[in-house]
Amino acid sequence: MVGDSIVLTYPSAAGPVHVLRGANIHADRGEIVLVDGPSGSGKTTLLSILGGILTPASGRVTIEGKDLTQMLRPERARLRLARLGFVFQGFNLLRALTARENIELPLQALGIGRAERLKMIDALLERLGLADKGTRRPAQLSGGEQQRVAIARALAGSPVVVLADEPTASLDRENGAEVMKLLCELARERKTSVLIASHDQRIAPFADRIISLVDGRC
């Protein structure tokens, strides 16, 4: 994944707000990159542009050579489903579904057959230490467990990149470390790149590379 000269400006009553002024970023296959920076520095905005959720004013985002910024919205959605995974600060699990069903969602949307889906989910739950909690709903899981389910969901479709926005912000130190350890281990095993936006310095040891986002540039 490559983000090249990404610029994003918000209009506001006080004049345009320059959130990103030409951010450059890349992550090699299987690499874990931490995007560091203070609150409000544009880390989340950068992540959402890299994920094809926001469109930059200028600049390019390429994943496996395909330019996201030139794609139409449905095409970007298809690419997100097939090639990207997301981990959010607030876990964002669907509360009406069980852990297993949450993980199954992207697999089902990808058209993977039921038998294969179940095999993949079992393997992920086992690997993330949630083998006995697959039938529980998010409200019946701890924060750490919920984030592990979210990681399983992000990795289920075998993405090339996982974008993680403040993945430890809602967790205590111990759970945060555990979640990061699992995410990084799994990503390395699967040669999945991970881009983490966080100002949590405890994440730094897990990263292969740290990029600082300052004044909209990195």
Partner 1 sequence: MIRLGRRHLFEDLPRFFASLGGIVFAVQLVVVQLGIFFGFVHSSSLLIQESRADFWAAAKEMQYLEITLPVPYSWIAKARAVSGVAEVQPIIIRSIVFENTSGTLDYGRVVGFDPAGSLVHLDDHPVGDLRAIAKPGAFAADAGQLSSLGVSGIGAEGTIRTKKARLVALVHDTQPIISPTFLYTSLRNAVLWSPAMIDEFVRDPFTSSFDINSPLNFVLVKAKPGVDLVALRGALARALPNSRVLTKAEMIDVTQRFWVKRTNIGFILGLCAVLGILVGMVVVAQILYTSVNEHIREYGTLKALGIPDRLLYASIIWQAVVMGLIGFIPGLLLGLVVAGYAQNARGIAIEITPPITLEVLGLSIAMCVVAAIFAVRRAMTIDPMIVFKA
Give the binding site for partner 1 (CB under 8 A): 44, 47-48, 51, 53-54, 74, 76-82, 84, 86, 88-90, 92, 94-97, 101, 105-106, 108-109, 153, 165-166, 169-170
In whole angstroms, how close is the CB of 93 to partner 1 at the nearest point?
A: 8
Give me the least distance between CB of 138 and partner 1, in Å please.
11
Compute how many other C-beta atoms are within 10 angstroms of the C-beta atom of residue 150: 27
- From residue 135, alpha-carbon distances to 140, 148, 156, 199 in Å are 10, 14, 17, 33
What is the nearest approach in angstroms of partner 1 to the Cβ of residue 101?
Answer: 7
> Considering the complex, what minimum distance in angstroms separates the CB of residue 51 from partner 1?
7
Which one, 34 or 47, has the nearer CB to partner 1?
A: 47
Task: Bin 193: left if φ > 0, else alpha if -120 < ψ < 50, else beta.
Answer: beta
DSSP per residue, 34-62: EEE--TTSSHHHHHHHHTTSS--SEEEEE
55 vs 208, beta carbon nearer partner 1: 55
The smaller minimum CB distance to partner 1, of residues 62 and 208, is found at 62
Q: How far apart are CA 56 and CA 61, in angstroms?
A: 9
